[in-house]
Structure 1
Amino acid sequence: MEKAQHGRMYSYKEIQQWEGNWELIDGVPYLLASPSYIHQYVVGELYLALAPYFKARGCRLILSPFDVQFDTDNNEEEAQTVVQPDLFVICNLNQLKKNRVQGAPDLVIEVLSASTGIKDRNQKYYLYETNGVKEYWMVDPSNRTIEVIGLEDGRFQKRAVFGPKDVLTSFLYPDLAISLDSILHMDDV
């Protein structure tokens, strides 16, 4: 992921004119690198594991690339905070628009890579926390872990880390439990 080296703020309308896949955080554009096979493998496995659970609850599990607009006071074109999480869950379907989601998803999952890890652990962590994402999962394929972070009293305060031999449980969805064996065991990948 490459941060644009310009001193000014950009809008969603402006980055739509550019080549490549871009995110905006507080008007700062970031070019998204093409994901690795491992990244896409993990995203696909998580989607397959989670989709039945959320579909049964009337929620939508959405794969990237799909825009999430956080600064909902602005119209789409003027938006300055629009990101594309790897996976996210929307249970309030009124947030779902034709080409974006307006407002914080209930759950966001980011799969870390060498090009996105710092942004996912810093800028996106604070973006998700301050905008009320109820749960944030950071998946680290290189360490074969999934860190689950829960929002409490407006701050990310709950934390659990799961490995390949674990069954991941959610703070937000207590009856959600997924075996990580096939998701984080990537010996043959």
Structure 2
Amino acid sequence: MNHTARKDDKTYTYKDYLTWPEGEHWEIIDGVAYAMSPAPGRQHQEISGNLFIELGNYLKGKRCKIYAAPFDVRLPRQGETEDATATVVQPDITIVCDPDKLDNKGCKGSPDLIIEILSPATASRDVIRKRRLYEANGVAEYWIVDPSNQIITRFNLDDDLSRYRQAEFFSREDTISPIIFPELQINLEDIFPKLEEQS
């Protein structure tokens, strides 16, 4: 999704976020607000939909729940109140297995799996800043989906739950399994559109 930072020096919080006009989509990362484009491209939507179907079908009747953007994930620092929370993100796909983290506003705390689908405008933020953000907040598993190169990069926390292990890469010819659902095999040929369909 396309992001543009707000042109001011104010530090924003979740309380501010709730006052912004309905229909506008924003993320706040460490107090900096980023506008999100109103509609991702067709290829982005296809990939997101394909992943959501595969994961959603598997999760039917299970404890874990899956959500597609826009879905607010609040990541408060230790001791930070709800209103003062300085990080609110809207991942493309979010899976949460702890029902206590869910409320009518979305998710408060770290999801079990976050998936972000890259666009040219978000690539550096999703690959660098959000990876560090999710690692620091204990998001157990993070997938970065690169539509142009048809690759998924997977990160998952180490045994100490303190940092991400070495990245793993999966191409269109591979299958991928979420670490939290190792029995689920996702064939990436079913996720990425054929090259001739991308034009």
Normalised by the length of structure 2, the TM-score is 0.89
Matched, 1:188 2:194: no
Q: Which amino acid aligns with 1:76?
A: E
- What displacement does 1:64 show? 0.7
Counterpart Cα distance in 1 of 2:57 and 2:99: 17
**Matched-pair identity in %:** 37
Q: What residue is the counterpart of 2:163 in the other structure?
A: 155
Which residue, out of 48, 59, 83, partners 2:53? Answer: 48
Give the conservation status (yes or no) of the 8 Å contact 1:95–1:101.
yes
Q: Determine the structure 1 residue equivalent to 2:177.
A: 169
Q: CA deviation at 1:76?
A: 3.1
**Which of the numbers 145, 157, 160 marks the counterpart of 2:151?**
145
For residues 102-157 of structure 1, the C-alpha deviation after alignment (integer angstroms, 9 at most, x for no partner) is: 10000000001112111111221111000000110000001101111111021011
> Which residue of 1 is the match for residue 133 of structure 2?
127
Larger proportion of strand: 1
What amino acid is the match of 2:32? V
1:76 to 2:78 alignment: no
Q: Following TM superposition, by how much is the alpha carbon of 1:100 offset from its aligned partner in structure 2, in angstroms?
A: 1.6
Distance 2:168 2:58 in 1: 20
Alignment match, 1:37: 42
> How far is the alpha carbon of 1:177 from its aligned partner?
1.2
**Long gaps (5+) in structure 2:** none
Moved over 2 A (4+): 15-19, 54-57, 72-78, 169-173
Distance, in Å, in 1 between the alignment partners of 2:127 and 2:10 is 24
- Structure 2 SS opposite 1:184: coil
Q: Secondary structure at the match of 1:155?
A: coil
Q: TM-score, with normalisation over the residues of structure 1?
A: 0.93
Check the 8 A contact 1:53/1:176 in 2, yes or no.
Answer: yes
Residue equivalent to 2:70: 65
Deviation at 1:185, TM superposition (A): 2.8
Moved more, 23-32 or 177-186: 177-186
Kindly provide the amino acid, as one letter, of the partner of residue 26 in structure 2: W
Q: Which amino acid aligns with 1:131?
A: N
Contact 2:95–2:111 at 8 Å: present in 1 too? yes
Match of 1:95, as an amino acid? K
CA contact (8 A) 2:75 2:110 kept: yes
The CA deviation at 1:56 is: 4.2
State the number of aligned residues. 189
Q: State the partner residue of 2:20.
A: 18
1:37-88 alpha-carbon deviations (Å, 9 max, x no partner) = 1111111010001112223432101111010010064343322111001001
- Do structure 1's residue 118 and structure 2's residue 121 form an aligned pair? no
